[in-house]
Structure 1
Amino acid sequence: MSTSIEPGLDGSEPDLSVVVGERRHLLNLGYRLLGSLAEAEDAVQETYARWYALSPRQREAVESPGAWLTTVAGRVCLDMLGSARVRRERYVGSWLPEPLPDRVEWSSVRADGDRSEPVDPADRITLDESVNMAFLVVLESMTPAERVAFILHDVFRYPFAEIADIVGRSPAACRQLATSARRRVRAAQTPAAPVAGRAALVRHFKEAWEARNIQALVDLLDPEATMTADGGGLVGTVLRPVEGSRLIAQYLIHIADKAPGLTLLERTVNGQPGLVAQNAGVTVTVAAFDLADGRVTRIWAVRNPEKLRPWTEDGAS
């Protein structure tokens, strides 16, 4: 297993720093499995709680603490995914994954909502293609077992024999789960555009939105584009996806007219060019984009304030 850690050379209980050093790996795993930073942090906390619930003798007997922690984290996330599916069926409007800022903009916010010092770099999610919004949205269409098998194997390169121990199925069954998940991802994939081209298209989109130029927005949108917004019932937003370039453009102009003080900022969202909307210095929307053939095909606008806590005024300005 890629994260295995050797116990103390003298056979004693593993050093605390070695065990705590697994936190970043576990957080990265948890976010990809759950699509929520808050839930990933809960999963990591539960994993460590189970580790420290072991007696010293039991911890000494663990051959590879890193492998043990990953196995437990995988099982915790699998359980959380099952309950999350039930909660999301009752969610008001569309549920979207929690957006992540670029690592240089990352800030920490305590559970009570107060801003704190910049987060420890060791706690940051590694931004790559496995956390872009399009990828995470596809993961939401998978069963919990499919998602765990696919992420552990295709993203973290765990062998199916070890995944089987986490999922509670045979290695062959886990292979089939990953294969099924892989088909879903391939069916939803669009040709990747160069980063510079993506950034330029998002910039043009921002400028057209600021200018309230409805025709320019229509021209930048694919005719069959879709915009999905997530307010979680906490803020006003459309509850169903808006489909079609003209309807999306009209809706965006309507938003701009209702919030004349809205400021749009170009920011990295889940590793890709995106937009952050602020009102009086407070981040109110984080938008991620999917692009194809020089046009915007999908927009995911996260407005639920509970999902915007990492996007502090300082971190997004």
Structure 2
Amino acid sequence: MSFTVNSDARPIRAGLALLWDRFWDWLARPMHYSAVHEFRVASESGDPVSLAALLDPAVAVVVDAGEESDSSIRVVGGVGDAVALLVHGMAPRPGLVIEERSVNGQAGLMLNHGDEASAAITIDFTGHLISAVWIRLRAQRLRHWNHV
């Protein structure tokens, strides 16, 4: 008995893999977007207790000033310091608009002053808690961010 391999099997497998990836993204995306929404609301409200409840005890906030040198990157660790930085940076002020957007293909935030993007924020999770907040400054480097 001879067995022939169907040459159409590879495109079907690739199509099924792509379908699964899109389904998983569709399933997980609402959870991340709602967690990012909670994070935005807690940060903007200035309520340190609400914000701290969302953070992993070992949370890290990484701020990249967007300059060429490595010294433009700062890391703040721990809930207390992270809360202080986030509440200060996201406090309501004239001209500041914080939008929930996809940033680099994941749930994130864009901070805008007028029509200028001033920061992009992405958030990593460990379980249901926020383990890392990545903040990228410098509008000129944010010109090419993508909508999803």
Deviation at 1:260, TM superposition (A): 4.5
Name the structure 2 match of 1:251: 85
Equivalent residue runs for 1:264-303 within 5 Å: 264-303=98-137
Q: What residue ranges of structure 2 are gaps of 5+ in the alignment?
A: 1-20, 22-26
TM norm structure 2? 0.70
TM norm structure 1? 0.35
Name the structure 2 match of 1:225: 59
Deviation at 1:246, TM superposition (A): 1.9
Equivalent residue runs for 1:139-288 within 5 Å: 194-233=28-67, 239-257=73-91, 259-288=93-122
Deviation at 1:233, TM superposition (A): 3.9
SS in 1 for 2:62: strand
In structure 2, C-alpha distance between the alignment counterparts of 1:208 and 1:230, rounded to whole Å: 22
Name the structure 2 match of 1:308: 142
Deviation at 1:256, TM superposition (A): 3.3
- Per chain length, whose mean CA-contact separation is higher, i.e. which structure has more relative contact order (CA < 8 Å, sep 6+)? 2
SS in 2 for 1:196: helix
Deviation at 1:258, TM superposition (A): 8.2
Q: If each structure's helix is expressed as a fraction of its own residues, which one has the higher value?
A: 1
Alignment-mate amino acid for residue 42 of structure 2 = A
Q: What residue ranges of structure 1 are gaps of 5+ in the alignment?
A: 1-128, 130-192
Deviation at 1:203, TM superposition (A): 0.4
Name the structure 1 match of 2:13: none
In structure 2, C-alpha distance between the alignment counterparts of 1:282 and 1:275, rounded to whole Å: 14
Higher-Rg member (1/2): 1
Deviation at 1:240, TM superposition (A): 2.0
Q: Percent identity?
A: 27
SS in 1 for 2:74: coil
Alignment-mate amino acid for residue 117 of structure 2 = T
Alignment-mate amino acid for residue 127 of structure 2 = D
Q: If each structure's strand is expressed as a fraction of its own residues, which one has the higher value?
A: 2
Alignment-mate amino acid for residue 215 of structure 1 = V
Structure 1 residues 232, 308: CA separation in 2 closer, same or farther (over 3 Å shift)? same
Structure 1 residues 222, 229: CA separation in 2 closer, same or farther (over 3 Å shift)? same
Size of the aligned set, in residue pairs, is 119
Alignment-mate amino acid for residue 122 of structure 2 = A
Alignment-mate amino acid for residue 132 of structure 2 = R
In structure 2, C-alpha distance between the alignment counterparts of 1:228 and 1:199, rounded to whole Å: 20
Kindly provide the CA deviation profile for residues 205-239 of structure 1, in whole angstroms up to 9, marking residues without a partner as x.
011111111111111111101111111349xxx74
Q: CA RMSD of the aligned region, Å?
A: 2.4
In structure 2, C-alpha distance between the alignment counterparts of 1:278 and 1:212, rounded to whole Å: 19
Alignment-mate amino acid for residue 58 of structure 2 = E
In structure 1, C-alpha distance between the alignment counterparts of 2:115 and 2:50, rounded to whole Å: 27
In structure 2, C-alpha distance between the alignment counterparts of 1:253 and 1:276, rounded to whole Å: 15
